[in-house]
Amino acid sequence: MIDIKFLRENPEVVKENIKKKFQDDKMVLVDEVIALDKENREIKQEVEGLRAQRNKLSKEIGGLMKQGLKEEAEQIKAQVTANSSRVDELTERERVVEEEIQTRMMRIPNIIDDSVPVGKDDSENVELERFGDPVVPDYEIPYHTDIMESFDGIDMDAAGAVAGNGFYYLLGDMARLHSAVLAYARDFMIDKGFTYCIPPYMIRSNVVTGVMSFDEMDAMMYKIEGEDLYLIGTSEHSMIGRFINRMIPEESMPQTLTSYSPCFRKEKGAHGIEERGVYRIHQFEKQEMIVICEPEESMDWYEKMWKYTVELFRSLDVPVRTLECCSGDLADLKVKSVDVEAWSPRQQKYFEVGSCSNLGDAQARRLKIRVKGKDGTHLPHTLNNTVVAPPRMLIAFLENNLNADGSISIPEALVPYMGGKTVLTPGNKD
C-alpha cells in the first residue's frame, strides 16, 4: 500500500504505474481516493472548528449564568447541543470515509522500481543470467513421479483417497531426500547469519491483509471455518506478521530470519500437463527467508537473497537461471521481483522453483511496523525469498542427478543429511 500523501501529491505517477501493470480498471480508484481524502480533511477541519466553538460557548454559558442571564445561557446551550449533534454526525461520516479510503488504497498497486521491465504477463519476463550448464543426457529422463515410483517413494492414489487431488505420500528414500534437502537448506541459511525460526502455521485476517493483496488472498488462502484464522500459503506471511504493530529499535536492524513451515494453497485454475504429479499441489514444505531492513539497504539485500538460492541449487548440481519479473507479473505489493528457475533435462526447459521479492514499505505500512532511531521513526522495507521448496525442488534434483541405470547421485553437500549415502538405488527395477 502506497502512502496517501504520495498519492495526493502525485496522482499522475500513481496512474502511470497502474498503466504499467495493465490494470486500467483500477485507474478510477485514484480519483475516488483523492475525492474521499479531500472530504475527510474537510470533515476533520469542521469537527475541529465545532469543538473549539463548543469550548468557547461553554465558557460563555458559565459567565451568563453568573450574571443571572438564564435565557441567554439557554440559547447558547441549545447551540452547543446542535454543535454536538453535528460533531457526532461528522464523526460517523469520517469513520465511513476512512474505511472507503482504506479499501481503495489496499487495491492500488505499489509503485514498481524504475528498473522493472514493462510487460503484460509472465510470458514477457526477462532472462537475466544462467548458472551451470543445462545438460540433456543421452538416456531417457522419466517423469518425476515415475522416478519416485521406481524407489517405491510416492503414493498419490492413496493420498487422493485420503485427501483428494493435490496431495501425496512420500516414502522411504524419497521422503528422506525431501527432509534432507530442507535440513541442508536450514543449515545453509544459518551459516549465512540468518536466525532460524519455526513460525505459526495459521494467521489472523489482519495479518493476511497486511502481507498480501486481496486477489492473492482469494486465490491462495484456506480459511478455517468459524474462526478468524487462515492456513499460511508461505511462511513469510507469519514471519513478517511477527512484527505487527511493533517498533523495532534502529540498532536491531536488519532483521534476518529463515523459517521452515508446511504451506497450504488452493492453487485455483487449470494447469498444464507438466504441472501434474507433485509440481502444483495443495500442501508442501518450504525453507524461506525474510529481511526487514532500512530502505536504503533493501536493494542490496534483494541481490544477496536471490544469490543465496542460486548458490544452494548449484551446490546440489542443479543448473538454474534468473528471470526479472515484468510489471504485469508483479503482485500488487511488490516493487521488484526475480524468479529462480531450475533446468529440467526431461522437458529441456527451465521451470520456477523460487521467487525473491522486494516489497518496499508496503507491508510495513499495512502492518504498522516502524523503526525507532535517534531522529524519530520511519517505515522499514521488507523482502522475502524462497530458499528451497520441495517437492518441486525434488523434480529438478531427481532429473539432474539421475543416472542411466536409474540410480540417483547424492551431491557432496547433501551426503551428511542422507546418512552418508552417495547413491540411491531403485527398489523395484524390472
Write out pLDDT tens, residues 307-349. 999 999 999 999 999 999 999 999 999 999 999 999 999 999 9
**Inside any domain, residue 115:** no
Cα atoms in the 13 Å half-sphere on the side-chain side of 152: 6
Residue from 393, 427, 420 nearest 317 by CA: 393
> Which domain-ending residue is among 64, 79, 105?
105
For the segment 401-417, the average pLDDT, to the nearest whole number, is 97
229 alpha carbon, distance to own chain's centre: 17
DSSP class of 317: T
DSSP class of 325: P
Cα(30)–Cα(14) distance, rounded to whole angstroms?
8
> Which domain-ending residue is among 78, 105, 132?
105
pLDDT at 62: 66
How close are the terminal C-alpha atoms of the chain, in Å?
58
At 427, the pLDDT band (50, 70, 90 cuts) reads confident
Does 152 have pLDDT greater than 50?
yes
271 alpha carbon, distance to own chain's centre: 22
At 58, the pLDDT band (50, 70, 90 cuts) reads confident
**Inside any domain, residue 128:** yes
**Inside any domain, residue 114:** no
Q: 3 vs 94, 165, 369, 394, CA distance in Å?
A: 19, 42, 14, 41
Residues 402 and 278 in one domain: yes
Does 428 have pLDDT greater than 70?
no
Q: Which domain holds residue 378?
A: 122-424
**Structurally, how many domains does the chain consist of?**
2
Residues 365 and 285 in one domain: yes
Residues 32 and 167 in one domain: no
* Beta carbons within 8 Å of 164's beta carbon, 6+ residues apart: none
Residues 412 and 277 in one domain: yes
Residues 24 and 157 in one domain: no
High-pLDDT (> 90) share of the chain, %: 79
Cα atoms in the 13 Å half-sphere on the side-chain side of 235: 25
> Which domain-ending residue is among 105, 136, 164?
105
Q: In angstroms, what is the C-alpha Rg of the chain?
A: 28
- The answer to which of 26-30, 63-67, 309-313, 421-425 has the lowest mean pLDDT is 63-67
**Residue 169 dihedral angles phi and psi, to the nearest 5°:** -105, 130
Model confidence over 226-284: pLDDT tens digits?
999 999 999 999 999 999 999 999 999 999 999 999 999 987 544 444 556 888 889 99
CATH number, residue 295: 3.30.930.10
Residues 165 and 286 in one domain: yes
pLDDT at 67: 72
* C-alpha cell of residue 111: 509503485
Residues 412 and 358 in one domain: yes
CATH number, residue 22: 1.10.287.40
Model confidence over 372-392: pLDDT tens digits?
998 899 999 999 999 999 888
pLDDT at 30: 97
Residues 56 and 195 in one domain: no
Helix (H) or strand (E) holding 339: strand 336-344
Residues 168 and 98 in one domain: no
Residues 87 and 140 in one domain: no
- The answer to which of 54-58, 368-372, 396-400 has the lowest mean pLDDT is 54-58
pLDDT at 268: 54
In terms of Cβ atoms closer than 10 Å to its own Cβ (0-12, 13-18, 19+), residue 13 is middle
Residues 172 and 23 in one domain: no
Residues 243 and 386 in one domain: yes
Q: 225 vs 122, 175, 214, 219, CA distance in Å?
A: 34, 31, 19, 17
Largest CA distance in the chain: 111
Average pLDDT, the chain: 92
At 57, the pLDDT band (50, 70, 90 cuts) reads confident
